[in-house]
A and B are shown apart, each in its own frame.
Chain A
Amino acid sequence: MAQLTLDDVTKIFHDDDEGEIVAVDEVSVDIEDGEFLCVVGPSGCGKSTTLRMIAGLEDISSGEIRLGGEVINDQPPAQRDVAMVFQSYALYPHMTVRENMAFGLEQSTDMSEEAIDQQVTEATDLLGIDDLIDRKPGELSGGQQQRVALGRAIVRDPEVFLMDEPLANLDAKLRAEMRTELQHLQERLGVTTVYVTHDQTEAMTMSDRIAILNDGILQQAATPLECYHEPNNMFVAGFIGEPSMNFFDVERQGSTLVADDFEYDLSEETARELGDKTDLTLGIRPEDIEVIDSQSGRHDYEGVVDVVEPRGSENTVHMMFDTSDSATFIATVDGMRDIDWGQHVTVRFPEEAIHVFDTKTGEAVRNRKLDSVEKVEPVV
């Protein structure tokens, strides 16, 4: 079993000018055997540092990292039974694909040449790069180099794969292809994987669970859908989802949330959930905003279309309330729908879809209801 556990892992860098910098602050997360965990966050949030600590490339300032129950804090990188894929691929330019992949086995095991060769061949077959085996990295395309980098990790047959933005250098189309392929590969090999990315789409689509970091602090570790629908706080709500969630500063007055541009009536049930907090932020995802023709409900408001970004399947519509210097917000509507700049429309913020956050702490006070999520029953 290769369960990877991070227990209050902290990394403090000492800088001559700025003193101590806490890059990773008491991060605790359990990664199950065979699980695919994406660590996601903005640049400088400590996600790469976390990965490098797992790899053994950075010392751990405090806390513990355990692999299969064994503390690996002080083990050198080579003894940890982890393999890493770097963003730059980090292939050895003077070695052929075969030599690149065999190097790790030559250095860390006393396998015979034939055994190494066989293992390399298996890995290249799996990745479909068996015809490139005698070429050097300089003669390969970005996508092919990426595969070799993956192959170099696979061939080691490690307990844990560590991937540091491995798809960042590929073009959009290839990235989407490799995303699927990586998922297949990971499922097939069943190796515990920690995958670092700044791209929330990658995190959403690939992982079993997402760990969201900001300023070195773990914000939430949950399944993609949980992070999306039930974010712990405003940071997670804003980071996950594209386009991002709309936020409005509101003040609670009785059973009404009063914003600069609108007032939002709360049902008794929702009001109860909010407790006695008054300084709040209302959040709603663009796709939950309904754009309708005429005003009929109590959560309907007048809106003016500002900018329309057609995406084919849907239109991203930037809107304003029908007041002077109003806040802008984003709604997504069907791609076939005809909607134009300057058009006056009615927008509806359905109550079951709203999120409410405590403005001071950022914590979620109320998340959207998941009752409406459809469940597809497997056909027996």
Chain B
Amino acid sequence: MSTSTRNPIESLRDMENSRIGLYVVLLFGIVFYLFPMETAVMTMFKTQTEFVETVPFAPPSPDGFTLGALMTAWNTLRPGLVNSMLMAIPATIFSAMAGSLAAYGLTTISWRGQVAVFSIVLAGIFIPYQAVLVPLAQFWYQILPDLMNGFVNTAFGFITGGNWTYPTRSGHVQLLQLSITHAAYGTPMCTLLFRSYYKGISDEMIEAARLDGATAFSIYKNIILPLSLPMFAVTLIYQFTQVYNDLLFALVLVNEPASQVATQRLAALTGGVVQSFNTTMAGAIVAALPTLLVYIFFGEQFAKGVAE
């Protein structure tokens, strides 16, 4: 056979055009997506001088290697990472559960006016976060505290003596408020995702369950919920990424340093007077870690849920 004697030029000439096209596209993919990643990782391990002296994507030399930037970034971000988890995980789970239940009620059960209700829910997706910042802050910092103060001091005045005040300044309360806000704003999108999924579930199967004597909630619990697991993976990943990456609501609702979330800490890390690229890169990588892990662990179900 002549294969063994063929030179690279010959084999390149024999290659199909489509294959060449594929490689060109893949090459672009590498340049656009992987180079920045690689550069970030390399920069993270370089000293400041090494960074200035070498090309960004080159690996650090033995002298210029340091873990200092990573340590600084980790120490700065660590409390933020914990806060982010405490805030994002419950918000994500709540959005997914509420979205699933709402979608079930709006799709599988039929009742008058459900189209109108769904339209309102749908409209919730399109409200820009910036548009609600002021009313949102007013709600958490004025309206709710006033209401709570009035209620608690009236109903339980015999205990509080009328001196109770809503703990607006408490870091934990602020984090909880942020979590609730995200849960509420994530629910419409989750409802939409679940609704399109539930529309594909056979009507006859639901009718069979009704004939079997199942109540509306029993149908949800025994049939709809087990069948929605792939969709839960999709909404959990999507919603977690959204909530975790948000900075805007966090800036407005959380001002206690101890309760700051990862994105706020990252902003603080990079916002100094002197731009140190190595700590910036290290911070970005550390902050991105949880979302990366979520994709790795739920990726398969995610693909299933999207494909179905």
Give the B-binding residues of A (Cβ under 8 A).
55-57, 76-78, 82-84, 86-88, 90-94, 103-104, 107-109, 152, 156
Q: How far is the CA of A87 from the CA of B214 in the complex (A)?
A: 20
Q: How far is the CA of A55 from the CA of B204 in the complex (A)?
A: 12
A82 touches B211 (CB 8 A): yes
Closest chain B CB from A169 CB (angstroms): 12
A83 touches B211 (CB 8 A): yes
**Residues on B with beta carbons closer than 8 Å to the beta carbon of A103:** 209, 212, 214, 222
Task: Judge whether B213 is part of the interface by a CB distance below 8 angstroms.
Answer: yes
A57 touches B213 (CB 8 A): no
Whether A90 touches B222, Cβ cut-off 8 Å, given contacts A103-B212, A107-B213, is no
CB < 8 Å neighbour of A94 from B202, B207, B227: B227
Task: Judge whether B75 is part of the interface by a CB distance below 8 angstroms.
Answer: no
Q: How far is the CA of A237 from the CA of B276 in the complex (A)?
A: 92
Task: Judge whether B210 is part of the interface by a CB distance below 8 angstroms.
Answer: yes
20 A-B interface contacts by CB (under 8 A): A57-B207, A57-B210, A77-B207, A77-B210, A78-B214, A82-B211, A84-B207, A84-B211, A86-B207, A87-B204, A88-B202, A90-B202, A91-B208, A92-B223, A103-B214, A103-B222, A107-B215, A107-B218, A109-B213, A152-B208
Q: Which of B207, B223, B226 has the most CB of A within 10 A?
A: B207
B211 touches A77 (CB 8 A): yes
Q: How far is the CA of A108 from the CA of B213 in the complex (A)?
A: 5
Closest chain A CB from B165 CB (angstroms): 51
| Interface flags, B184-208, vs A, CB<8A=1, else 0 | 0000000000000000001011011
**Residues on A with beta carbons closer than 8 Å to the beta carbon of B211:** 55-57, 77-78, 82-84, 104
Q: Per DSSP, are chain A's interface residues mostly helix, strand or loop, or mixed?
A: loop
Q: How far is the CA of A93 from the CA of B227 in the complex (A)?
A: 8
CB within 8 Å of A: which B224-246 residues: 226-227
**Residues on B with beta carbons closer than 8 Å to the beta carbon of A92:** 205, 208-209, 222-223
**Residues on A with beta carbons closer than 8 Å to the beta carbon of B223:** 92, 94
B208 touches A86 (CB 8 A): yes
**Residues on A with beta carbons closer than 8 Å to the beta carbon of B204:** 86-88, 90
Closest chain A CB from B100 CB (angstroms): 15
CB < 8 Å neighbour of A90 from B205, B213, B226, B227: B205
A78 touches B212 (CB 8 A): yes
A78 touches B210 (CB 8 A): yes
**Residues on B with beta carbons closer than 8 Å to the beta carbon of A91:** 205, 208
Q: How far is the CA of A93 from the CA of B215 in the complex (A)?
A: 19
Closest chain B CB from A162 CB (angstroms): 9
Q: How far is the CA of A156 from the CA of B212 in the complex (A)?
A: 8
Q: How far is the CA of A88 from the CA of B205 in the complex (A)?
A: 9
Q: Which of B207, B209, B211 has the most CB of A within 10 A?
A: B211
Closest chain B CB from A114 CB (angstroms): 20
Whether A84 touches B208, Cβ cut-off 8 Å, given contacts A90-B202, A93-B227, A107-B218, is yes
**Residues on A with beta carbons closer than 8 Å to the beta carbon of B218:** 107
**Residues on A with beta carbons closer than 8 Å to the beta carbon of B212:** 78, 103-104, 107-108, 152, 156
Q: Which residue of B lies closest to A82 (CB)?
A: B211
Q: How far is the CA of A84 from the CA of B203 in the complex (A)?
A: 14
**Residues on B with beta carbons closer than 8 Å to the beta carbon of A86:** 204, 207-208
A sample of 11 more A-B contacts (CB under 8 A), given A78-B212, A91-B208, A152-B208, is A55-B211, A76-B210, A77-B207, A78-B213, A83-B211, A84-B211, A90-B202, A90-B208, A92-B208, A93-B227, A94-B227
Q: Which residue of B lies closest to A164 (CB)?
A: B204
Q: Which residue of B lies closest to A93 (CB)?
A: B227
**Residues on A with beta carbons closer than 8 Å to the beta carbon of B202:** 88, 90
**Residues on A with beta carbons closer than 8 Å to the beta carbon of B222:** 92, 103
Q: How far is the CA of A88 from the CA of B213 in the complex (A)?
A: 19
Q: How far is the CA of A84 from the CA of B209 in the complex (A)?
A: 10
Q: How far is the CA of A93 from the CA of B212 in the complex (A)?
A: 15
Q: Which of B204, B208, B209, B222 has the most CB of A within 10 A?
A: B208
Q: How far is the CA of A62 from the CA of B210 in the complex (A)?
A: 23
Closest chain B CB from A230 CB (angstroms): 37
Closest chain B CB from A192 CB (angstroms): 16
**Residues on B with beta carbons closer than 8 Å to the beta carbon of A94:** 223, 226-227
Q: How far is the CA of A108 from the CA of B219 in the complex (A)?
A: 13
A90 touches B214 (CB 8 A): no
Q: How far is the CA of A78 from the CA of B226 in the complex (A)?
A: 22
Q: How far is the CA of A83 from the CA of B205 in the complex (A)?
A: 13
Q: Which of B204, B223, B227 has the most CB of A within 10 A?
A: B204
Nearest 5 pairs of A and B residues by beta carbon: A108-B213, A104-B212, A78-B213, A90-B204, A107-B213
Q: How far is the CA of A82 from the CA of B211 in the complex (A)?
A: 8
Closest chain A CB from B135 CB (angstroms): 38
**Residues on A with beta carbons closer than 8 Å to the beta carbon of B208:** 84, 86, 90-92, 152
**Residues on B with beta carbons closer than 8 Å to the beta carbon of A88:** 202, 204-205
Closest chain A CB from B202 CB (angstroms): 6
Q: How far is the CA of A344 from the CA of B227 in the complex (A)?
A: 66
Q: Which of B210, B218, B226 has the most CB of A within 10 A?
A: B210
Q: Which residue of A lies closest to B227 (CB)?
A: A94
**Residues on B with beta carbons closer than 8 Å to the beta carbon of A57:** 207, 210-211
Q: How far is the CA of A76 from the CA of B212 in the complex (A)?
A: 11
Q: How far is the CA of A92 from the CA of B210 in the complex (A)?
A: 12
**Residues on B with beta carbons closer than 8 Å to the beta carbon of A55:** 207, 211
**Residues on B with beta carbons closer than 8 Å to the beta carbon of A104:** 211-213
**Residues on B with beta carbons closer than 8 Å to the beta carbon of A93:** 227
**Residues on B with beta carbons closer than 8 Å to the beta carbon of A83:** 211
Q: How far is the CA of A57 from the CA of B204 in the complex (A)?
A: 10
Q: How far is the CA of A57 from the CA of B212 in the complex (A)?
A: 12
Q: Which residue of B lies closest to A83 (CB)?
A: B211
Q: Which residue of A lies closest to B214 (CB)?
A: A107
Closest chain B CB from A56 CB (angstroms): 8
Q: How far is the CA of A92 from the CA of B222 in the complex (A)?
A: 10
